[in-house]
Structure 1
Amino acid sequence: MENFPVINLEKLNGEERAAIMEMIKDACENWGFFELVNHGISHELMDTVERLTKEHYKKCMEQRFEEMVATKGLEAVQSEINDMDWESTFFLRHLPVSNISEIPDLEEEYRKVMKEFAVELEKLAELLLDLLCENLGLEKGYLKNAFYGSKGPTFGTKVSNYPPCPRPELIKGLRAHTDAGGIILLFQDDKVSGLQLLKDGQWVDVPPMRHSIVINLGDQLEVITNGKYKSVLHRVIAQSDGNRMSIASFYNPGSDAVIYPAPALIEKEEQKQVYPKFVFDDYMKLYAGLKFQAKEPRFEAMKTMESSINLGPIATV
């Protein structure tokens, strides 16, 4: 198996720019995942986010998780569990409106730091979308505009901990799925591994690296690129020791954004349009019940709804 793509973003501004753009293009076309180093988010900020996330889990979530495990009798399971995940999570919403001030139990410093981190990730997501536009031959800003809807993009963070699991062979940390949204930015534990993606029929580890941000593409980018880029199945393997931290931020279309393959791409590639046109919120409603199933039937279901949608023009920002 060839090496997992690790991209040094700092080199974008030098003579190696063309080579870096080629690496991003290859990662989007053949992996659906890549890992960024020197991405411009300060290491101090990342260290603080990690420390406060781990402290918050210990103080506010660990006992709750242990009680849930005990209630469901999960320490003693004898056969594979397919309807739940070995994870402890909470969600933060940043855009269009932040809910960080409403989440109970978060200390003031943690709220402040997560807001700061979200601002940095949002900038990185938008930079990456423009790099994708450049590689695809789309005008700058096309993907951001496609995600815009009437209130701008939806942006939120899932903060997860994957505590040590007594039966990792029987319970997944997180079952295999593709992500429904746009572009996902993950700050993961650099000591405890577990994230894997499916490539050429084999599960491949996403290497834990200090201060890196792992990027993966969601279903909406597959639709907009008419399948040139694909969202990829991934999962988290529970570990018998170590608590794995995962902070995944999802830069997604606005709920009323209309998603469809980019006409310029279809013309350029002389393809026919293979993916439907739909409202992002309709896709999310469908995805909620089918997250751990294949994505293809979701796209098919959207095709059947297509004729009933009253579609306005794409927003321009």
Structure 2
Amino acid sequence: MSSDDFTPEPPRLDRPSTGGPEEIPDWVRQLEREIRVGPATRLRIWFGRHARGLRLGVGAVLALALLAYLGAAGYRHVRRPADPPRAYPTVSPPAGIQATTAASPPPAAGPFDGTPAGAFPEGAAGITLPPAKATGGFTAKQVSATLTKVRTALVTARLDRAFMTAKDRERLVRQFAPDARRHLREEVSDASFISVATRLAPGARLLPDQPRVKGRVTYRATRDEQGIRMLRVTTNFVWAYAFLSPGAAPGDAVVVVHDTLVWEVPHPDDVRSRDNGLWLTDMGSYASNVDCAAFHKGLLDLGKGGDGKPVATPTPDRDSLYDPDRSLDIPDTC
């Protein structure tokens, strides 16, 4: 019997006999009709005989189908693109010859781990100057001298710890042209001066780790309203400071300051000696994760804003505050 036979062949009671049809009793014919196995019955019998194998087969098919579905779903999950980063307003670099931070960050672990500043160079290594080229009546030597003055002022203003803890601004102010010094002393308030320089609040404690720095320096020759030739230098930097703090999450102890400053040096042949030197003609900044009371006095310390949020830290793009190309136009939460 082949495997396709559902049941044994029933006896053929209707075969003709030598005695003729009349010799087959009616009860035999009736019995034949009652025991004949129809298609539905045959199917039930077959299922009964093969129930265990059928369950195993169906289980295997279902398992394969489930694996196929999960595999396809997993593939779709892997192939699905990640959610794009949230957009935030940025600025375009100013026209001119420029250089961006190029130094490699230090490999050691520290308080900046888990933040974008972990990939920034330490201190002055993050200030990369563009090549000095003759432009607009300024010689390459004059351009180089101007860029050096700007870099020295930046290092004093944002990285010199002796200046940060000093009670006056003179260490920085005396680096400007004589007439520019008077302006910085008399007309720039303490609250505004924080856009130019970092001064620590009493009791604020920086960790020994060097601040992390990233940004860009751009210069070009121009003329002011009076036709005086000017070498204009635009600096755009993010400064990240590590403060002593019990906070354990990445960035809890990090204060971020992002400033954009416009420095100008007039051509020495076009101005009086008192005007010759470094001028600051525009400034803007924001700070994040600072103490509000100190910040309003132009001083820096780790703290929280008046509403419990870090100062000027719009959620949910906190990491964007470390981007030098981020717009300075953000809300102050103090």
Normalized per residue, the structure richer in helix is: 1
TM-score normalised over the length of structure 2: 0.28
TM-score normalised over the length of structure 1: 0.29
